[in-house]
Amino acid sequence: MTCIFCQIIERKIPSSIVYEDDTVLAFMDIQPVNPGHVLVIPKKHAESVAELDDETMGALNVVCKKVNQALRKSDLKVEGVNHFLADGEAAGQEVFHVHFHVFPRFANDGFGLKFKEDYANLPPRSELDAAAGKIKKNC
Ligand code: AMP
Ligand code: ZN
């Protein structure tokens, strides 16, 4: 078995688990963006979001919410919380077992998303409508 997260599920390698049920496991990221960085994964191996059934996707998001609330109740430094999922290599996915990152944010924590240079220029409504049309027909 090569999937590192499946090895965590099967307790073949160490992890720091914060939540577990029949469908979902949540554990600490080994390289946290900030202290309290949790990964939320399905117990059944799936590489991408497209492979997940709706029930599992729902269960993952319910656990992300639980972790969000648990972080906020903890004495970790938590001014805000990011939920983040990289679906595909181009999106930054490095471990090909679906996972949500749920991690605390606070002012000047050094984390940020990088935007392209012309990001400040809003596209015309026609461009938004055209993109919406392409997505809508597949929803
Ligand atoms: P991503 O780039 O979205 O695929 O994120 C993969 C995440 O998995 C990174 O944040 C890694 O730090 C984390 N990671 C990799 N190996 C382990 C491990 N053995 N235990 C916990 N987290 C891990
Ligand atoms: Zn796996």
Asked whether 29 lines ligand 1 (CB < 6 A), one says yes
Please state the atom number of ligand 1 nearest to the C-alpha of residue 99.
Answer: 3
Catalytic position from the list 37, 97, 99, 101: 99
CA angle 107, 61, 24 (to 5 degrees): 115
Distance in Å, CA 54 to ligand 2 centroid? 18
- For residue 1, what pLDDT is reported? 64
Look at residue 25 and tell me whether its pLDDT is greater than 90: yes
End-to-end CA distance of the chain: 35
H or E stretch covering 84: strand 80-85
> Token pair 């029930």 is at which residue?
55
- Ligand at minimal distance from the CA of 97 is 2
Tell me which of 28, 39, 96 to substitute to probe ligand 1's pocket, judged by most ligand atoms within 8 Å of the beta carbon.
39
CA distances to 26, 36, 89 from 66, in Å: 10, 13, 27
C-alpha–C-alpha distance, residues 39 and 2, integer Å:
18
Rounded-to-10 torsion of CA 121, 86, 99, 49: 100
pTM recorded for the entire structure: 0.97
C-alpha–C-alpha distance, residues 103 and 76, integer Å:
11
| Tens digits of residue pLDDT in 26-80 | 999 999 999 999 999 999 999 999 999 999 999 999 999 999 999 999 999 999 9
Domain ranges of the chain: 4-108
Residues 6+ apart with CB under 8 A from 7: 1, 13
Who surrounds ion ligand 2 at CB < 5 A? 3, 5-6, 45, 97
Asked whether 34 lines ligand 1 (CB < 6 A), one says no
At the fourth CATH level, the homologous superfamily of domain 4-108 is HIT-like (3.30.428.10)
Annotation says 97 is catalytic: no
